[in-house]
């Protein structure tokens, strides 16, 4: 099914000043901004930590451990948000004067997600006084109880949506708790940890801790490179508060104020530090960091972020890069198998289930999330990909699933509806609106697939199954310039729920050639300005369909990009979608 090309609506009520160029006014208004003051990303306008419920109690727990030099053990998640949250907490707590700070990250293949009783038993061997969860814990009812039975205190920091029952932790900080009035519900796990560290530093400053101990008060802004990476990597909505965090992190990275680990990963991704944008963190750094948790143990990613010496950071980053190459190969094979399976089922757009489940016995548990995302993009349906996950305590074979949704369906709520209607069908689940994880008995897969498709069909409007490419309209030929591309780059950061500007328009193909057997390199001219030539590239196209397309008239959906080659900068259109115009 070809996507519809839809232009974003632009409210007429915006009140931007003449200082904002008309093109940016149009773009910002389509993203629900109204006036100049909303464009300010000054760090001084970050939301106050005092708005986070439970923060005072959490600070008191940490302060007590600091005063007695208790042992703090961080329990991390195994994705990039978890890794950045863990590294940030360790760096800040050590800078505050904590002498006994360590971490543990569950291996997803042995322990699964979160603070489970099994992880608590493993943690006990370290002798901690306090367990600090980062990017997990809000659903760890049994794990918290197990820790407290062993005389450990538990401080939960998380951002995932809570279930009906909350763990009885000693303190919890999560903007999505029912009684939390923090306006930004979209903080990533690393953002929650950053706020906790801000509040703890303020308490210690007030009580004269740094002066008493002869410790230089840490500048937490020095950790914003890590905060920006975790926020972008977790694909949380970039509301204004998150844009402030990401923008400040990017500014510091461009100025060379970044940890050696992120610097090493950027170099491997061939990204310029000086011209870095948010998408570079998402496409060049985050996948390499995530590769450790997907294929092995996220401890390697955390150690990369903790490395103080550039040489060690580069060595660890090289290992992560090799893992990422392996992950790509595994992903390619799984995607080909999934697509072949779909073809064998002979589904068409009308018979394809509203919610799609996929499973193959030899799929890699660490890559099913990426697979679900790739298939979702292809079929424009919520997709859950499953892999074998061993046996439970009763010896019953289990599956682990990773879900990705589309606009219009809250995937965690959909799983909750399945669990409510069919008790016992799902062993456990959790997540966000657009992504979730779950586990279930392998012999329940068929029943779950049917139940999931039924719930999605009920909750998702039929027109939501039609893929739409939303654009910011057409650009005039005079706007197809390097200066416009630079203006748009500077107007970010762009990301989830604050998308990078995308445009549509009709062009004449002046020249075309195939690159690498799968990419289409073009020279185009706007139909309204045949004398204006511009370079463009489309990645991973059906090259057979585009051979010999000189003089063809095409409709594009594209982004403006700056191509930098041998010190020269030029405009290039990055094509998101291309189709021939009807003659």
SS (H, E, C) 138-149: CCCHHHHHHHHH
Return the closest-CA partner of residue 295 out of 272, 318, 326, 266: 326
Low-confidence ranges of the chain (pLDDT < 50): none
Quickly tell me which residue has 């300005």 as its tokens. 529
Predicted pLDDT of residue 350? 73
| Burial grade of 482 (CB within 10 A; 0-12, 13-18, 19 or more) | middle
Predicted pLDDT of residue 1? 60
Q: What CA–CA distance (Å, rounded) separates 249 from 20?
A: 24
Domains of the chain: 49-319 (3.90.1640.30), 347-465 (3.10.310.30), 469-580 (2.40.50.460)
Query: Is-cis flag, bond preceding 321, omega within 30?
Result: no
Contacts (Cβ under 8 Å, ≥6 apart) of 63 = 200, 203, 204
SS3 479: helix
Quickly tell me which residue has 């090493």 as its tokens. 264
Say how far residue 543 (Cα) sits from the centre of its chain: 31
- 283-301 burial, b if ≥16 CB within 10 A, otherwise e? ebbbbbbbbbbbbbbbbbb
Q: What CA–CA distance (Å, rounded) separates 138 from 114?
A: 9
**Residue 162: how many other CB atoms lie within 10 Å:** 17
Q: What CA–CA distance (Å, rounded) separates 277 from 282?
A: 9
SS3 468: strand
Q: What CA–CA distance (Å, rounded) separates 8 from 469?
A: 10
Structure tokens at 248: 């400040």
| Burial grade of 342 (CB within 10 A; 0-12, 13-18, 19 or more) | middle
């Amino acid at each position: 099914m070809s996507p519809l090309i839809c232009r974003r609506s632009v409210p007429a009520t915006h009140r931007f000043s003449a200082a904002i160029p008309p093109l940016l006014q149009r773009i910002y208004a389509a993203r629900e901004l109204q006036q100049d003051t909303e464009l300010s990303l000054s760090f001084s306008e970050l939301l106050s930590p005092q708005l986070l419920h439970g923060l005072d109690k959490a600070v008191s727990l940490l302060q007590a451990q600091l005063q007695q030099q208790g042992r703090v053990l961080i329990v991390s998640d195994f994705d990039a948000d978890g890794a950045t949250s863990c590294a940030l907490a360790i760096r800040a707590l050590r800078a505050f004067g904590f002498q006994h700070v360590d971490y543990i990250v569950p291996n997803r293949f042995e322990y699964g997600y979160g603070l489970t009783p099994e992880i608590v038993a493993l943690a006990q061997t370290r002798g901690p006084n306090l367990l600090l969860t980062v990017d997990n814990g809000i659903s760890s009812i049994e794990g918290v109880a197990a820790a407290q039975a062993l005389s450990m205190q538990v401080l939960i920091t998380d951002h995932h949506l809570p279930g009906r029952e909350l763990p009885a932790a000693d303190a919890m900080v999560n903007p999505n708790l029912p009684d939390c009035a923090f306006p930004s519900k979209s903080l990533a796990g690393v953002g929650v940890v950053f706020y906790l560290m801000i509040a703890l530093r303020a308490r210690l400053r007030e009580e004269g801790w740094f002066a008493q101990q002869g410790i230089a008060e840490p500048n937490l802004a020095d950790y914003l490179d890590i905060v920006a990476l975790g926020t972008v990597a977790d694909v949380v909505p970039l509301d204004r508060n998150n844009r402030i965090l990401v923008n400040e992190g990017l500014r510091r990275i461009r100025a060379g104020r970044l940890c050696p680990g992120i610097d090493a990963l950027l170099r491997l991704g061939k990204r310029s530090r000086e011209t870095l944008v948010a998408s570079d963190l998402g496409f060049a750094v985050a996948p390499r960091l995530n590769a450790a948790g997907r294929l092995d143990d996220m401890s390697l990613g955390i150690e990369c972020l903790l490395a103080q010496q550039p040489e060690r950071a580069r060595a660890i980053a090289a290992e992560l890069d090799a893992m990422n190459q392996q992950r790509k190969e595994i992903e390619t094979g799984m995607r080909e198998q999934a697509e072949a399976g779909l073809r064998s089922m002979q589904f068409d757009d009308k018979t394809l289930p509203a919610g799609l489940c996929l499973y193959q016995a030899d799929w890699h548990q660490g890559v099913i999330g990426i697979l679900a995302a790739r298939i979702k993009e292809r079929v424009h349906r919520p997709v859950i990909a499953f892999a074998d996950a061993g046996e439970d305590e009763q010896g019953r074979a289990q599956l682990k699933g990773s879900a990705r949704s589309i606009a219009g369906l809250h995937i965690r709520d959909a799983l909750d509806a399945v669990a409510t209607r069919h008790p016992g069908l799902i062993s456990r689940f959790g997540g966000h609106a657009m992504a979730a994880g779950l586990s279930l008995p392998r012999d329940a897969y068929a029943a779950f697939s049917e139940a999931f498709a039924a719930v999605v069909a009920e909750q998702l409007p039929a027109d939501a199954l039609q893929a739409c490419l939303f654009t910011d309209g057409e650009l005039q030929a005079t706007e197809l310039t390097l200066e416009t591309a630079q203006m748009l780059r500077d107007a970010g950061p762009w990301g989830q729920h604050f998308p990078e500007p995308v445009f549509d328009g009709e062009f004449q193909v002046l020249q075309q050639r195939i690159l690498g057997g799968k990419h289409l390199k073009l020279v185009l001219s706007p139909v309204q300005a045949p004398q204006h030539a511009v370079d463009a590239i489309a990645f991973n196209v059906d090259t057979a369909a585009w051979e010999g397309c000189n003089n063809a008239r095409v409709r594009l959906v594209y982004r403006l990009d700056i191509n930098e080659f041998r010190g020269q900068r030029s405009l290039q259109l990055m094509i998101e979608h291309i189709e021939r115009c009807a003659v």
